Amino acid sequence: MATLSLDTVKPKKVTPTKLRYFLHSPKAVASVGYLIILALVGTLAPWITPYNPNDIALSNIMAAPSAAHWLGTDDLGRDVLSRLMAAAGASMFASFLAVSIGMSLGVPIGVIAGYAGGRTDAVISRVLDALLSMPAIVFAVGVVGVLGAGLVNGMFAVGILMLPGFARLVRANTLVVKQELYVDAIRAFGATPLRIVTRHVLPNAIQSAIVNAGLLLAVALLAESSLSYLGLGVQPPNSSWGGMLARAYNYMEVAPEQMYAPGFAILVTALAFNGLGETVRLALDPRGPKR
């Protein structure tokens, strides 16, 4: 054990030990494996779905699961499994889009607030407080209503509301990092503020933002499916898990089993996103296991 912990001090050894740790965590392997498969299914959907997901067959509506249609057909006779597969790509894209918008705006704002301090910090902090006070899904619903229904508009609104979370985390870390001796040293060498921030402060302040991003993917997925459920996200005839739930709900008394597959798809994907976030957190935590 003693030799092992000595080895981890060398930066070269860190990557393989982290990888080994990852491979020993069933939750991490299952989450990442599932997400890779889902991404492949989502990307390859146009070629691999058993039926065209938008093909209407009014002679065969709300069929129970069978050998031909594994998950049955919906109220327009469309194959549920195909629609489920076709929706995977949009859902994953939407989740990553919202989180990237929130992160790419929030991180620089947080660094600026933390590094500049004083009045700049006070102004930015109040704007962030106000943004944090906007009621998340209702605000997104309103913005989508004004900008027009669609996935990108919806995720833009969700991303904007994720901005303050990122900014606050990075601001807090920046406040700590800028007091460090090495930042003083590099400033004494005459580095410009831009260089100090981008090369020395940001890399040390961004870790918690990356962890936050992993955990927010599931939040974004639930927001996307909520908007699609309300008819404001993915637009018909294209399929989305939220939209499929909304249709199934209308026919709940006739074909209740239609409700289960899209719901489980959202649940399992959100669990996998959280598993991914948890894995990233442990991998980046310097106090975490390095066995």
Partner 1 sequence: MISRERRRMIGNRLLQVIPVLLLVTFFSFLLLHLSPVDPAVLLAGENPTTQQIEEIRRYYHFDDPVIVQYGRWLWNVLHGDLSKSLISREPVAETIAAKFPATLLIVLYAMVIAISVGAPLGIGAAAKPGSWIDQLATAVASFGVAVPYFWVGMVLVLLFGLKLGWFPATGLVPFSESPWEAIQSATLPAIALSMSGIAEITRQLRASLLEVLGSHFVRTLRAKGLPWRSILWRHGLKNVGITLVTVIGLVFNRKIGATVVIETVFAIPGMGYAASYATINKDFVVVQGIILVFALIVVTVNLITDLAYALLDPRVEA
Among 226, 239, 240, 279, binds partner 1 (CB under 8 A): 226
In whole angstroms, the minimum distance from the beta carbon of 124 to partner 1 comes to 11
DSSP E strand boundaries for 30-153: none
By the rule CB under 8 A, 113 interacts with partner 1:
no
Exposure string over 131-143, b if 16+ CB within 10 A, otherwise e:
beeeeeeebbbeb
Among 137, 172, 282, 284, binds partner 1 (CB under 8 A): 137
Among 32, 41, 61, 127, binds partner 1 (CB under 8 A): 127
How many whole angstroms separate alpha carbon 162 and alpha carbon 112? 17
By the rule CB under 8 A, 14 interacts with partner 1:
no
Q: CA 29 → CA 33, 36, 241, 266, distances in Å?
A: 6, 10, 24, 19
Q: Toward partner 1, which CB reaches closer, 99 or 232?
A: 232
Q: CA 88 → CA 45, 80, 160, 241, distances in Å?
A: 8, 13, 23, 8
Among 144, 169, 209, 280, binds partner 1 (CB under 8 A): 144
By the rule CB under 8 A, 172 interacts with partner 1:
no
Q: Which of 239, 170, 178 is nearest to 208 (CA)?
A: 170
φ, ψ for residue 9 (rounded to 5)?
-65, -35
In whole angstroms, the minimum distance from the beta carbon of 114 to partner 1 comes to 18
How many whole angstroms separate alpha carbon 199 and alpha carbon 146? 40
In whole angstroms, the minimum distance from the beta carbon of 25 to partner 1 comes to 14
Binding characters for partner 1, 69-108, by CB under 8 A (x = yes)? ----------------------------------------
How many whole angstroms separate alpha carbon 230 and alpha carbon 221? 14
Contacting range for partner 1; rule: CB under 8 A; set: 67-75, 105-113, 176-184, 250-258: 250-258
Token couple for 273: 């996103």
Which residues form the interface with partner 1 (CB under 8 A)?
126-127, 129-131, 133-139, 141-147, 218-219, 222, 225-226, 229-232, 242, 245, 248-249, 252-253, 256, 259, 262-263, 266-267, 270-271, 273-274
